[in-house]
Copies of this chain bind each other. A is one copy, B any other.
Amino acid sequence: MSLVGFIGLGQMGAHMARNLIKHGHKLIVYDVNAKVLEQFKADGATIAKFPADVAAASKDIVTMLPSSPHVKLVYTGDGGLLETLQPNSLCMDSSTIDQMVSVEMALALRQKQASYVDAPVSGGVVGAQNATLTFMVGGGDEQPVFDRAHTFLSKMGKNIVNCGKVGNGQAAKICNNMMLGISMIGVSETMNLGIRMGLDAKLLASILNTSSGRCWSSDTYNPVPGVIEGIPPSKEYQGGFGSALMAKDLSLAQNAATATHAPTPLGSMAHQIYRLLAQDPNFSQKDFGVVYQFLKEEAKKR
């Protein structure tokens, strides 16, 4: 098997890269964190000094980076992938970034006779670890490109969705997370209101979950501590998906809404609320279900 490039070995990326290794791939990796590079060296991976070294050595490259500027730097910066990218290479970018940046990267790669898919994920750190991620793939409208990406992505996830043209992966991810942010705040408001009106929390959840108010944020990830055991809201909002990350995804949704002139009154308000949380040290790093505590009186009195 040929060498696979992997750039971005953070909380998600490290697990994903290890799943490729488990399936027998040999890796050449790059990250800014020297310590994690040492660990991958111990696991048999080749260490690159620059992204360009990765592109020089491999034609199948996965990138998993925190935001649009990082992606731009890794692809088009000094020592970036584009400096050495070989014809017929495929870059699979699993970062959640601005749709426009994905489109821009794809165009830049095309000029080098290389392909690009945007393939952001859902499923979190646990999904990354267990290879149960969902990949939302944009750029799979060319079937051979999708099939080639599938070879690698299917070793890191269980659900590889072909969303069509480049950028559509980002669109799907951003849309899902905007809906998620709205419904999580909605459930938090609803549970808080119902409890104040005299309802038992578990009873209210069970009514919602069997009625038209049903949603993932209520039946699978209810933000009220104790309603569902074992999830972050029942563990003091430790772990899970941080409020600051939700604020970031909602800002991508707002950028997209502005660019496409789509009215999003609730998405916009959800963004503002998570922005308030993201700047509050009591809430910023906690699971995004903590918006329930933000809305609930007693939490503020602590």
Contact = CB atoms under 8 A, between A and B. Distances in A.
B266 A167 contact: no
B271 A268 contact: yes
Interface stretch (A45-53, A57-65, A109-117, A176-184): A176-184
Majority-rule SS of A interface residues: helix
Given A182-B182, A199-B175, A207-B163, A190 B272 contact: no
Copies of this subunit: 4
A175 B208 contact: yes
B159 A193 contact: no
A273 B175 CA distance: 20
Contact of A256 (B122, B197, B218, B273): B197
Interface of A: 99, 122, 134, 136, 159, 161, 163-165, 167-168, 171-172, 174-180, 182-183, 185-187, 189-194, 196-200, 203-204, 207-208, 210-218, 220-221, 251, 253-258, 260-273, 275-276, 278-282, 295, 297, 300-301
Given A176-B212, A281-B300, 4 more contacts: A168-B198, A183-B183, A263-B295, A268-B271
